[in-house]
Amino acid sequence: MKINNVVIRRLLQLVSVALGVAVINFFLLRLAPGDAAQVLAGEAGAATPEYMAALRAQFGLDQPLLVQFGKYLLNLAHFNLGYSFRHGMPVAQLIGERVPATLLLMGASILFAVVAGATLGAIAAYRAGKIADVVISTLALVFFATPLFWIGLMLVVVFSVWLDWLPVGGMFTIEAGYTGWAHIVDVARHLVLPAVTLGLFYMAVYTRLMRATMVEVRRQDFVRTAVAKGARPPRVLFAHVLRNALLPLVTMLGVQVSSIIGGAVLVETVFSWPGLGRLAFEALFQRDFNLLLGILLCSSIVVIVVNWVVDFVYTRLDPRIRFS
């Protein structure tokens, strides 16, 4: 009963936030000067009044704004994200085609950031004040402060052009037509540089966070008690120190997942990765509002859901916190 109430409340919250985002975005985006027809005519390098009129009719831009808005809401009520006239495809299909690439990139970069960040942070905390700590902390500071696209380009120059270990960009070697295991290896090779680039900033954040909290947690009485009762160092680390140090990291993880589409724009551009971030970015410049609204709506839902998951994970990590 109580659980049902929670679920219903959360769902209502989701719908109202998503709807609010959709409505605000719809009108906000219309403030940008120029429309999709103008972009297309601009790209065509030549235009006539007849051509512009044909394009506006094609895009449905010749209708009053409120009619367009009504149609948009009606579509949403039917779980239909609308049609991208520029791409000649339904928005849902366009997003669906790009989601796997973005999920792969996001998953890999988050995994890299969390594992590397937590490990480095833990090492730094255990070696606080020693050489290893200084090196790790300095590196973390450097990655924290360097712009993403620059790191990406430098990685390409070093690992692709000079050393020739990894491909320059793209998601797989189209020319080779690999299948099965060879294809998976090929994608993995293409994934390394973009995932590392996208993950480095958060790795630095996690390293600093992990180091700080672990240094603090290790001084706590319950850790001293654990050591005093004769628990082995690995058990002290995993059962006592790590579990308590993870809370702030989970919070940051929620932030990373929510903000990753923004970072993905740059990384996907630098590495020609066919993902959602680039699609959103291009949609903005192309005034392809149906598509952009669809992507923004989907990502707002992702952010809300991720926040739930984070709340839920809190309760698992720290029984004092209740999920409500």
- Name the one range near another protein by CB under 8 A: 20-28, 281-289, 291-299, 303-311: 281-289
Residue 89 DSSP class: E
CB atoms within 10 A of CB 319: 8
Considering the complex, what minimum distance in angstroms separates the CB of residue 272 from another protein?
Answer: 5
Considering the complex, what minimum distance in angstroms separates the CB of residue 203 from another protein?
Answer: 23
Binding mask 167-186 for another protein (x = CB under 8 A): xxxxx--xx-----------
Contacts of 143 (CB under 8 A, 6+ apart): 151, 200, 201, 203, 204
CB atoms within 10 A of CB 209: 21
- Name the one range near another protein by CB under 8 A: 16-24, 74-82, 280-288, 297-305: 280-288
- In 219-288, alpha helices (H): 221-228, 233-235, 243-270, 276-285
Strand, helix or coil for residue 229: coil
Angle (nearest 5°) at CA 80 between 286 and 55: 35
Alpha carbon distance 222, 80 (integer Å) = 54
Q: Of these, 51, 126, 178, 308, which contacts another protein (CB under 8 A)?
A: 51
Using rule CB under 8 A, residue 39 touches another protein: yes
CB atoms within 10 A of CB 116: 18
**Nearer of residues 246 and 293 to another protein, judged by Cβ:** 293
Considering the complex, what minimum distance in angstroms separates the CB of residue 93 from another protein?
Answer: 10
**Nearer of residues 41 and 210 to another protein, judged by Cβ:** 41
**Nearer of residues 202 and 289 to another protein, judged by Cβ:** 289
| Residue 143 near residue 208, CB atoms below 8 Å | no
CB atoms within 10 A of CB 142: 12
**DSSP code per residue over 120-144:** HHHHHHHTTTSHHHHHHHHHHHHHH
Alpha carbon distance 210, 120 (integer Å) = 8
Under rule CB under 8 A, which residues in 206-265 are in contact with another protein?
Answer: none
Type of residue at 99: V
**Nearer of residues 245 and 279 to another protein, judged by Cβ:** 279
- CA 19, 298, 290, 287 dihedral sign is positive
Considering the complex, what minimum distance in angstroms separates the CB of residue 28 from another protein?
Answer: 16
Alpha carbon distance 160, 165 (integer Å) = 6
Q: Of these, 119, 274, 305, 310, which contacts another protein (CB under 8 A)?
A: 274
Q: Of these, 161, 179, 219, 322, which contacts another protein (CB under 8 A)?
A: 161
**Nearer of residues 60 and 248 to another protein, judged by Cβ:** 60
**Nearer of residues 35 and 311 to another protein, judged by Cβ:** 35
Considering the complex, what minimum distance in angstroms separates the CB of residue 169 from another protein?
Answer: 5
Considering the complex, what minimum distance in angstroms separates the CB of residue 300 from another protein?
Answer: 22
Alpha carbon distance 274, 169 (integer Å) = 10
Using rule CB under 8 A, residue 31 touches another protein: no
Give bridge partners of residue 84 from the DSSP assignment: 89
**Nearer of residues 133 and 288 to another protein, judged by Cβ:** 288
Using rule CB under 8 A, residue 75 touches another protein: no
Using rule CB under 8 A, residue 38 touches another protein: yes
Using rule CB under 8 A, residue 99 touches another protein: no
Using rule CB under 8 A, residue 44 touches another protein: yes
| Residue 193 near residue 160, CB atoms below 8 Å | yes
Binding residues for another protein, rule: CB under 8 A, are: 32-35, 38-52, 54-55, 58, 85-89, 94, 97-98, 153, 156-157, 160-161, 164, 167-171, 174-175, 269-272, 274-275, 278-279, 282, 285, 287
